Amino acid sequence: MTVNLAARIIGSVGVAILCAACSEYPAETGKERTRGDDSPVVAAGHALVADQSTVDLGRIARGSKATADFVVRNTGSSAVSIDEIRQSCACTEVQVSDRRLAPGDAATIQVVIDTSDREGKLAASVELTFRTDGSARQAAQLLERLVAKGDVYRTDRLVVAPNRIGLSGYRPGARFDQSVIVLPWQNS
């Protein structure tokens, strides 16, 4: 296989993965592949292994920045260089603690999601392109891919409970006390 053909195949795989926008959970989210002993499965020849492939950020206030940290380890016998990082949408920033990992070393992949333009279910994925010393670049999906997911809710809507105040028994001029609770609206 020539280098140009390999680059086109890798590019096509990357584009197909990135087409899953971060507005909804991807179909495969949460389907983490493991052996019977719950240790991660590594595709043949891959030297990078993620401690976890999915981080659930839970409920996220719209307009905030949500952060997920993934740890990747070089389980191979030669050094690994992370060449390229692709994220699924422009709302996602990625920082890597170390792009070159000796055998046994680990790096933290920090994924920061800006939720300013988001609402509802959210999943942002990251794909790493890496190479081992002496090898051609190869695309790696770590345990499917790295996914940070959550549920973004709006904070500009309020819920008042109770939504009615009964005035039966109210006498004009008399003191009237009623407690109410005001909470952010939660989409479901």
Owning domain of residue 104: 3-155
How does residue 22 score in pLDDT terms, banded at 50, 70 and 90? low
Mean pLDDT for the chain? 73
How does residue 171 score in pLDDT terms, banded at 50, 70 and 90? confident
For residue 13, being part of any structural domain is answered with yes
Q: Which two tokens mark 98? A: 């170390």
pLDDT at residue 183 in the model: 72
Tens of pLDDT, residues 23-57 = 454 434 333 333 344 444 344 455 788 888 899 99
Q: Do residues 70 and 105 lie in contact, with contact meaning Cβ atoms separated by under 8 Å?
A: no
Q: Which helix (H) or strand (E) segment is 4 a member of?
A: helix 3-18
Backbone angles phi, psi at 33, to 5 degrees: -80, 135
Query: Is the per-residue pLDDT at 8 higher than 50?
Result: no
Task: Select the more confidently predicted residue: 105 or 45.
Answer: 105
For residue 164, being part of any structural domain is answered with no
Q: Do residues 146 and 111 lie in contact, with contact meaning Cβ atoms separated by under 8 Å?
A: yes
pLDDT more than 90, % of the chain? 23
pLDDT at residue 153 in the model: 78
Distance, CA of 140 to CA of 168 (rounded, Å)? 67
Task: Select the more confidently predicted residue: 141 or 151.
Answer: 151
CATH number for the domain spanning 96: value is 2.60.40.10
Judged by average pLDDT, the poorest of 27-41, 79-93, 152-166 is: 27-41
For residue 182, being part of any structural domain is answered with no
Short-list 188, 41, 16, CA closest to 119: 188
Per-residue pLDDT averaged across 146-152, rounded?
87
For residue 176, being part of any structural domain is answered with no
For residue 57, being part of any structural domain is answered with yes
For residue 169, being part of any structural domain is answered with no
Task: Select the more confidently predicted residue: 188 or 162.
Answer: 162
Query: Is the per-residue pLDDT at 166 higher than 50?
Result: yes
> Domain count of the chain?
1
- Cis preceding-peptide flag for 103 (omega within 30 of 0): no
- Cis preceding-peptide flag for 26 (omega within 30 of 0): no
For residue 35, being part of any structural domain is answered with yes
